[in-house]
Chain A
Amino acid sequence: MCQAIRFMKNEFSDDILQKYHLEVREDEVRSYFAKKNAYLPVLLNGQNQLIRWGSKENIKIPRTGFCKIESFKAGKWQWLHPTPATIIASSALVNGIWFQVKQGIQGLIVESQYGTRHCYILTQPSTHYFRTMTGSERMPVLIHQVL
């Protein structure tokens, strides 16, 4: 699945980017899910915010960075009261291929019992094009973009 995302540096102030120790390269910022402190840039209530990418800790929320749209539709996430959000990525990395993200990726935000917020990337079965391009069976749900 999606291993990393890139987003534009100018979406956040330099202070915030330094505070979260994100990898800044020229005009872009990168966030890798495998890293200990992975964050996603999220547009929530009209504001850009950096929110933890899923969870890797032993707290009472799913230990993953992704949410299958099938399980979300089946109501399996309902007990978490997820809030939809737009992940403002400019590109995303799947199986070594960075692909363009036009408007954003669909995300879900849930709150842990400690009040921390976590963002999960919503995924769907890959289209023929995406499967050929990346070899991946699943792809992120893209906003107003068909791949």
Chain B
Amino acid sequence: MNEHIIGHIDADCFYVSCERVRDGRLVGKPVGVLGNQGACVIARSYEMRPYGVKVGMPIWKAKELCPEGIYVKRDFQWYEILSRQMQDILRRFSDTVEFYSVDESFVDFGDYPGDVQELAHTIQDKIFHEVRVPVSVGLSLTRTLAKIASEKNKPMGIQVVKREDIRPFLATCSPQEIPGIGRRLSKRIKHLRTILDYINEPQEKIRKLLHKPGEQFWYELQGTILFPVQAKRPERKAISRGGSIWGYYKDSDYIWGFLMRNLERLVDQLTREDIEISELTLLLITAEGATFQGKVVLPDFTNNFSFLLKALRQAFKQAFRRGYSYGYVHIIGYPLRSHQQKQLNLFTDEDEKYQQLLLTKQQLNRKYGRFTLRSGATLFVPQVFADETSNYEICDIEGKICF
């Protein structure tokens, strides 16, 4: 009897592999990819791992541990291109492909009639030969099992776990390998040595220890699908843009420059997804970790730049306090509604000429590149725009479910 097969395709050290696609000189060497400001390692090659370099480690520490390592600047736009190519290959095998994250996908193969082991090899070969990115493939009955399987033999690993293999396979896995059970929750099950011990526990006991998520994994780990593969991203409840402002600053003009950049990114995303918001929240986070908030309820749902700009000004007035050094800003739009649901309003105060100007700005930026035409307030942060690769961040990769 054919079994329902779910696959987890996980690229091996994806950012490094992407860099190696366009620079073969990096192959076989310890390579670290640095994050948005060049301060932290966000990915490292398998050759760098034995030196003890970890993801999130500051560069000054990484260079001490691995002085021979070559450090590369991140380029999320390039990573997205290769990620999409991988997605396209996976869609040749099934219509139900979940773009989970930039380097991970789930695929529902349905009741697969052929040789599952061969399927895994074919996927791995096709991706490697066409995109030049190595991937590990896990195939099993549920996405939880498939994910654990793909992690098992990295890099370029293949692991198929059929129904009859589940128990012997789980006997080789530690409970910490269950995706979604964090460090805090795993402390509650430290008496369990393997995942087989986990599924051997009574369901009620697992529910008591790990609540509903733990119970759901208990089912999934035994081959019952509770988390189906989602070919379409579920609707979001909120949208946000923000992050570090490249240091700690007291200057309100500098912070406003960063806010304008993030507002433009937010409006860009709202327009692309054809959605609107009715509430705008601004968070300013200080060097000491304190958060100051400003919140503006809009008169109606909108994705109009001029209305959101007015709202952001109000929110900034509420949130900004002189004398503090700020390091992070976040603009959050909530709740979301499709622009299609907009009702016509006779008393709209939208200025037609201004709308035309905004439309022209969008068209120019689409044609000549993001932020080519931008708000004058961003002149306070020229260094951010000096580097085109900063215009594109990981959250700008659309459609993925996980960050």
Whether both chains belong to one complex is answered with yes
Contacts from A to B (Cβ < 8 Å): 8, 90-91, 96-100, 102, 127-130, 132-133, 135, 146-147
Known contacts A8-B25, A100-B23, A146-B389; A128/B37 CB under 8 A? yes
Q: Is the pair A90, B25 in contact by a Cβ cutoff of 8 Å?
A: yes
B175 an interface residue at 8 Å Cβ cutoff?
no
Q: Is the pair A133, B387 in contact by a Cβ cutoff of 8 Å?
A: no
Q: Which residue of chain A has the shortest Cβ distance to B30 in the bound complex?
A: A98
Q: Is the pair B71, A98 in contact by a Cβ cutoff of 8 Å?
A: yes
Q: Is the pair B388, A91 in contact by a Cβ cutoff of 8 Å?
A: no
* Secondary structure call for the A interface: mixed
* Secondary structure call for the B interface: mixed
Known contacts A129-B37, A146-B389; A99/B63 CB under 8 A? no
What's the least CB distance linking B30 to chain A, in Å? 9
Residues on A with C-beta less than 8 A from B71 are 97-100, 133
In the complex, A128 Cα to B305 Cα: how many Å?
A: 29
Known pairs A128-B384, A128-B387, A146-B389. 10 more at Cβ < 8 A?
A97-B59, A97-B71, A99-B73, A100-B72, A102-B23, A128-B246, A132-B59, A133-B38, A146-B386, A147-B73
Find A98's partner among B19, B64, B68 (CB 8 Å cutoff). Answer: B68
A-B contact pairs, 11 of them (CB 8 A): A96-B63, A96-B67, A100-B70, A102-B23, A127-B383, A128-B246, A132-B37, A146-B386, A146-B388, A147-B38, A147-B73
B26 an interface residue at 8 Å Cβ cutoff?
yes
Find A100's partner among B26, B60, B64 (CB 8 Å cutoff). Answer: B26
In the complex, A93 Cα to B14 Cα: how many Å?
A: 25
- Please give me the 10 A-B residue pairs with the lowest Cβ-Cβ distance, nearest first: A133-B38, A129-B38, A132-B38, A128-B383, A100-B72, A90-B25, A98-B70, A132-B37, A96-B63, A132-B39
Interface residues of B in 1-40 (CB under 8 A from A): 19, 23, 25-26, 34, 37-39
How many pairs of A and B residues are in contact by the CB < 8 Å rule? 55
Find B69's partner among A98, A127, A128, A129 (CB 8 Å cutoff). Answer: A98
Q: Which residue of chain A has the shortest Cβ distance to B384 in the bound complex?
A: A128
User: What 0/1 pattern do residues 329 to 340 of B give for CB contact below 8 A with A?
Assistant: 000000000000
Residues on A with C-beta less than 8 A from B70 are 91, 98-100
Residues on A with C-beta less than 8 A from B387 are 127-129, 146
Q: Is the pair A133, B34 in contact by a Cβ cutoff of 8 Å?
A: yes
Residue among B26, B34, B39, B68 having the largest count of chain A Cβ atoms under 10 Å: B34
Q: Which residue of chain A has the shortest Cβ distance to B64 in the bound complex?
A: A96
In the complex, A132 Cα to B37 Cα: how many Å?
A: 7
Interface residues of B in 68-102 (CB under 8 A from A): 68-73
Residues on A with C-beta less than 8 A from B59 are 97, 132-133
In the complex, A16 Cα to B389 Cα: how many Å?
A: 39
What's the least CB distance linking A32 to chain B, in Å? 14
Q: Which residue of chain B has the shortest Cβ distance to A95 in the bound complex?
A: B63
What's the least CB distance linking A101 to chain B, in Å? 9
Residues on A with C-beta less than 8 A from B389 are 146
In the complex, A52 Cα to B69 Cα: how many Å?
A: 26
What's the least CB distance linking A126 to chain B, in Å? 10
In the complex, A53 Cα to B271 Cα: how many Å?
A: 53
What's the least CB distance linking A41 to chain B, in Å? 13
Residues on A with C-beta less than 8 A from B39 are 132-133
